[in-house]
Structure 1
Amino acid sequence: MKRSALSTHAARLSALSLGLATVVALSGCDTLNDWLAPDRVNYKAAETAPSLNVPSDLSTADISQRYAAPPKVNALGGGTERALTPAGNATLGVPTAQDPYGMHVERDSDRRWLVVDGRTPDQVWPQLQEFWQESGFTLKTDAPQTGIMATDWAENRANIPDDWFRKSIGKLVDFAYSSGTRDMFRTQVDRAANGSTDISVTHSAMEEVLTGQDKTSSRWEARPRNPALEAAFLAKIMEKFGLTDAQAKQLITDARPAGAKVAVETAGNASTLDIAEPFDRAWLRVGLALDRTNFTVDNRDREKGLYYVHYSDSMQELKKDGLFGKFFSSNTPTPTRQFLVNVRPKADSMTQVAVVDSNGQLDGSSDAQRIVSLLHAQLN
């Protein structure tokens, strides 16, 4: 019997999770502190590489002029007014007794997000646009109306070995070197309680693997997300918002535990999730969980509590073989069914999560119930 894409993905997700645990166990040097080092991340150098260095089928969509980044301003002038912290920082957040830097980090297992006090999503959005562009990325998605910002695929040039040949000669043709990996980052910006804003970063990764007996061809395979790399970019965002390197790293280290128990409720042939926390926090966590289960959020309607999603196979963007596939690619991804994930208050401190149909009724289909199962696994 042929399994659906979602069924296959459920098994693949478990394998990737196991693979990530194995990588962490075997790679003792790749700790959070290592990824926070300044020389571990470098996407800027890739800007000078010719287009042939980009894997086939990678989108290079331009940023909408409507959302173009504003001119740079000094720390205290222009745009959102910054406040001075007790330590003398000009921070984008609003300092409080609990958060003297005007921001803090929360975490749920290996998932972290930044909470910026006293600022709305509209106030932090231009700074995030600048941040990703200054970091060497092109924005593929730039949609403040949905709170989603995503980069195009890019190469971390810091992963390329700096051997003696590259040091002496290779710098002249540095674009010819490649790490064989590509990364993409998705930023989710949400309005939170008490006038604050939640910012999360989700990492997606692909690796080019040589194939065939003579190793002359290649294919792109998915790699597990790197939570430490996500944390490193959160730290860099905090520096953009006015903190020092040491202060940002300290907030990452001191991340406050978050999360609540998630229970499965079954009625007939449909299951729902009950999360023991208010809507604001549950809305954020469900969005993070969707990102990490390889779903693409086509749209979000916070007022209706709806995420419009479809299953997205990263291989569709990197399916052609290596360099030559760029010239012979004509296929387009097959359209997939859209699902509606509903997040709604059930009580003062209880939120229900369900997959519903276009009429708002529980979706009891097997694919919809697999989504509920995947969300339950991610939220626990």
Structure 2
Amino acid sequence: MNSMQLLRKHCAALLILFAASLGLVGCKSVTSNDTVDYKSAGAVRGPNLSYPPDLITAQADRRYIVQDGSATMSEYNAAVKKSVQTRKNVMTGIPGMRIARDGERRWLVVEKPAPELYPQIKDFWQENGFLLVIDSPSTGIMETDWAENRAKIAQDFIRSAIGGALDSLYDTGERDKYKTRLEVSKPGETEVYITQRGAIEKCTTDSTGSCISTIWTARPNDPELEAAFLARLMERLGMTQEQAKAQVAAPLGPKTPKAKLVQEGVNTAHIEMAAGFDRAWRDTGLALDRSNFTVEDRNRANGVYYVRYVNPKDLGDTKGFFTNLFSSKDDSSLKAKKYLVVVKAAGDNSSTVYVQDADGRPENTAAGLQLLTLLTEQMSR
């Protein structure tokens, strides 16, 4: 266990003893009624190695970074509040807003053009305690930094007694980040997709089973967190809380596998999907969002996603990666490579997905096969 964690544990133990002397330890612990209450990692001054690696987006393109983490959370929240109060285009309600679904996937359909929705959704994430590391109106993509869901921490009397000044002693050991993508499905109508990625802190042990250090590893996607934020976004755009919750809570359809990896040679493969182009395009986009990809641009008419991907194996040791993540070095140190993910209709109810290199040539390499395998796994969940 590292020195910072030991310090936290020792301080927490002393505080518990102090609280016990006040007769507080015997009180029953209760959890928060809210399921989401995030505290952004980006508000911490300087490098903070207790947060998981981004693996692609936070340092992928500094053109999109809108907050460098030099402000405290209170300063940042005050600025966001002022910005929201002075913004004149806050919507009071949107007719025709609804939740669409396909199996276990949900997304929001809004009868408004994407340029009108984008600033509202940007405000929404900032109001919910997130900093944005990608803010790209031209592509309709925004992504939050890693943040901790403080609602998972027990709200007991001890924590209430010590107050917010020592709040950092409590840690869930989990972090989340969210990506939002706006797609224009037809003139005057926009589809809004929210996807979550999670990380969890795990111990590495020695031969005796003792925890000697911790590392951050990916944890499974949580559709319920995505649904919670879809409901909150609907409220932000003018729907009542009851209406939003009812739409999100409607029963999901049956889960049907729609993707199959077809390997033609050693490193030659493609994905076959039992779906027409519209569904295949949507499912491919969601799979990219939930994987370790950054979508730089897309061309729906040609069925092409322009993506960047960092292979974790190319990053070297974990400590070195953390150093790169929070340093001011050139982004090329992350060894991101560019690819084209191409979706083609093969019939009314079938489509094919290929991976090409940055020049549009077939990516018949081990890397191409790995990318297709990752996408197939996501599409089949």
- Normalising by structure 2, report the TM-score: 0.69
Deviation at 1:232, TM superposition (A): 0.8
Q: Which amino acid aligns with 1:375?
A: L
Aligned with residue 149 of structure 2, among 156, 164, 168:
156
Provide the alpha-carbon RMSD of the alignment. 4.1
Aligned with residue 225 of structure 1, among 218, 221, 228:
221
Superposed counterparts of 1:162-177, under 5 Å: 162-177=155-170
- State whether residues 209 and 218 of structure 1, in contact with CA within 8 Å, keep that contact through their aligned partners in structure 2: yes
Aligned with residue 114 of structure 1, among 108, 112, 121:
108
- State whether residues 272 and 352 of structure 1, in contact with CA within 8 Å, keep that contact through their aligned partners in structure 2: yes
Percent identity of equivalent pairs: 35
Superposed counterparts of 1:117-136, under 5 Å: 118-136=111-129
Structure 2 CA distance, aligned partners of 1:45 and 1:356? 36
Structure 2 CA distance, aligned partners of 1:343 and 1:327? 32
Number of residues of Structure 1 aligned to a counterpart in Structure 2: 322
- State whether residues 260 and 277 of structure 1, in contact with CA within 8 Å, keep that contact through their aligned partners in structure 2: no
Structure 1 CA distance, aligned partners of 2:145 and 2:137? 17
**Deviation by residue 1:188-216 (Cα, 9 ceiling, x = unmatched):** 21111464211111111222234455646
Deviation at 1:355, TM superposition (A): 1.4
- State whether residues 272 and 372 of structure 1, in contact with CA within 8 Å, keep that contact through their aligned partners in structure 2: yes
- State whether residues 202 and 230 of structure 1, in contact with CA within 8 Å, keep that contact through their aligned partners in structure 2: yes
Q: Which amino acid aligns with 1:182?
A: R
Matched with 1:342 is 342
- State whether residues 64 and 142 of structure 1, in contact with CA within 8 Å, keep that contact through their aligned partners in structure 2: no
Aligned with residue 79 of structure 1, among 83, 86, 89:
89
Superposed counterparts of 1:3-18, under 5 Å: none
**Do residues 234 (structure 1) and 198 (structure 2) align?**
no
Superposed counterparts of 1:9-158, under 5 Å: 39-44=34-39, 55=50, 62-63=65-66, 71-72=83-84, 78-79=88-89, 90-92=92-94, 94-95=95-96, 102-109=97-104, 111-116=105-110, 118-158=111-151
- State whether residues 120 and 195 of structure 1, in contact with CA within 8 Å, keep that contact through their aligned partners in structure 2: yes
- State whether residues 100 and 107 of structure 2, in contact with CA within 8 Å, keep that contact through their aligned partners in structure 1: yes
Matched with 2:371 is 371
| Residues 1:273 and 1:48: Cα distance change in structure 2 (over 3 Å) | closer
Structure 2 CA distance, aligned partners of 1:327 and 1:191? 33
Deviation at 1:162, TM superposition (A): 2.3
Deviation at 1:340, TM superposition (A): 1.3
| Residues 1:46 and 1:191: Cα distance change in structure 2 (over 3 Å) | same
Aligned-partner SS, 1:91: coil
- State whether residues 40 and 131 of structure 2, in contact with CA within 8 Å, keep that contact through their aligned partners in structure 1: no
**Deviation by residue 1:134-178 (Cα, 9 ceiling, x = unmatched):** 000000001122222100111111122223321222434223332
Q: Which amino acid aligns with 2:99?
A: H
- State whether residues 310 and 334 of structure 2, in contact with CA within 8 Å, keep that contact through their aligned partners in structure 1: no
Matched with 1:180 is 173
Q: Which amino acid aligns with 1:234?
A: L
Structure 1 CA distance, aligned partners of 2:129 and 2:282? 27
- State whether residues 210 and 217 of structure 1, in contact with CA within 8 Å, keep that contact through their aligned partners in structure 2: yes
Q: Which amino acid aligns with 2:93?
A: T
- State whether residues 49 and 175 of structure 1, in contact with CA within 8 Å, keep that contact through their aligned partners in structure 2: no
| Residues 1:359 and 1:218: Cα distance change in structure 2 (over 3 Å) | closer
Deviation at 1:130, TM superposition (A): 0.3
Aligned with residue 208 of structure 1, among 201, 209, 220:
201
Aligned-partner SS, 1:251: helix
- State whether residues 113 and 187 of structure 2, in contact with CA within 8 Å, keep that contact through their aligned partners in structure 1: no
Deviation at 1:339, TM superposition (A): 2.1
| Residues 1:121 and 1:169: Cα distance change in structure 2 (over 3 Å) | same
Structure 2 CA distance, aligned partners of 1:376 and 1:224? 15
- State whether residues 185 and 202 of structure 1, in contact with CA within 8 Å, keep that contact through their aligned partners in structure 2: yes
**Deviation by residue 1:305-346 (Cα, 9 ceiling, x = unmatched):** 22223444679699449xx98999799854043221112344
- State whether residues 270 and 352 of structure 2, in contact with CA within 8 Å, keep that contact through their aligned partners in structure 1: yes
Structure 2 CA distance, aligned partners of 1:365 and 1:235? 42
**Deviation by residue 1:279-310 (Cα, 9 ceiling, x = unmatched):** 34322210101223333324333343222234
Superposed counterparts of 1:254-265, under 5 Å: 254=250, 257=253, 261-262=258-259
- State whether residues 55 and 318 of structure 1, in contact with CA within 8 Å, keep that contact through their aligned partners in structure 2: no
Ranges in structure 1 where 5+ consecutive residues have no aligned partner: 1-34, 83-89, 96-101
- State whether residues 113 and 234 of structure 1, in contact with CA within 8 Å, keep that contact through their aligned partners in structure 2: yes
| Residues 1:357 and 1:314: Cα distance change in structure 2 (over 3 Å) | closer
| Residues 1:221 and 1:350: Cα distance change in structure 2 (over 3 Å) | closer
Aligned with residue 284 of structure 1, among 271, 282, 285:
282
Structure 2 CA distance, aligned partners of 1:222 and 1:310? 19
Deviation at 1:370, TM superposition (A): 3.6
Larger deviation, residues 164-173 vs 182-191: 164-173
**Do residues 249 (structure 1) and 234 (structure 2) align?**
no
